[in-house]
Amino acid sequence: MNESFGARLRARLDACGPLCVGIDPSPALLDAWGLDDSPSGLERFSRTVVETVAEVAAVVKPQSAFFERWGSRGVAVLERAIADLREAGTLVLLDVKRGDIASTMTAYAEAYLDRGSPLAADAVTLSPYLGFGSLTGAIASAVANDAGVFVLARTSNPESAELQRLVAGQVVAGATAANAGATPFGPVGLVMGATLTEVEHPLTDLNGPILVPGVGAQGASPADVARLFAPVRHAVLPSVSRAVLADPKRLRGRVLHYRDECAAHLTPEAAGRR
């Protein structure tokens, strides 16, 4: 890769529209698809999602936990899914939410961001709750490997609110500093939920992407995302999982529906119509 993560993400958003599709092969979804809760069911689910959405979604986000629960057999399925997505040109955001002290964080970065790793993704999710400074090694690895990170700031689950209100300002400040001077986006994005009632901290200087989960099954709509993040809508990446994964026969149609809805509310042309 010769382009930075920010440049690749910007190009992908412009080409495909602003949507991230999750791969969350939970036991409930495997059952809904008529698949066994087994590594073979996991592989059929993942392969179907990859083949269906790789060309129409800007970013695909496998949830690592649902693969890890099957040990090495599940991780092998995850490796193949990542490889197939990257071969198709789709950006892969691996949802791992890792966060630890410096030496351990460096090891996580080697696992998920080093170009030579079988699990190497375009970006990963990180947890900042050992201090934003604990992520320094991962951010450095992301830069060195033309990758990115998305740091939890204000997530969509309601039980997070009390804690995250206390530290979100520090997370936003840390990400903003790490992105200074980069174009079109810096390597550090934020995770901020679509179900928030307001965004308490200004994001206009962030200079990085914003992953916005909570669309669909959690009740938020693309219009909610546009309202919450109006000043930075060009940088927003709504994420949808269960709302498109529930029925394999409707998977592509639901992805296209959400992609078009997000584009209608979040592209610069949409901003001009409002």
Q: Pairing relation of β-strands 59-62 and 123-126?
A: unpaired
Torsion of CA 97, 150, 255, 261, to 10 degrees: 140
Return the closest-CA partner of residue 59 out of 72, 50, 67: 50
Q: Report pLDDT for 2.
A: 76
Please give the pLDDT value at position 239: 97
| Span 26-74, pLDDT tens digits | 999 999 999 999 999 999 999 999 999 999 999 999 999 999 999 999 9
Which whole number is the average pLDDT over 111-121? 97
pLDDT digits (tens, 9 = 90+) for 7-33: 999 999 999 999 999 999 999 999 999
61 sits in the region (left: phi over 0; alpha: psi -120 to 50; else beta) called beta
Q: Name residues whose C-beta falls within 8 Å of residue 89's C-beta, 6 or more positions apart in sequence.
A: 54
147-192 pLDDT, tens per residue? 999 999 999 998 999 999 999 999 999 999 999 999 999 999 999 9
Q: Please state which architecture CATH assigns to domain 5-273.
A: Alpha-Beta Barrel (3.20)
Q: What is the mean pLDDT of the chain?
A: 95
- Over residues 196-241, the pLDDT tens digits come to 999 999 999 999 999 999 999 898 999 999 999 999 999 999 999 9
Percentage, residues of the chain above pLDDT 70: 97
Looking at residue 124, its amino acid is V
What does the pLDDT read at residue 272?
43
CA distances from 50 to 195, 205, 245, 266 (A): 27, 34, 12, 25
Between CA 167 and CA 173, with CA 170 as vertex, the angle to 5 degrees is 150
What value does the mean pLDDT take over residues 101-108? Answer: 93
| Residue type, position 175, single letter | A
| Annotated active-site residue in 86, 97, 242, 252 | 97
**61 is a catalytic site residue:** no
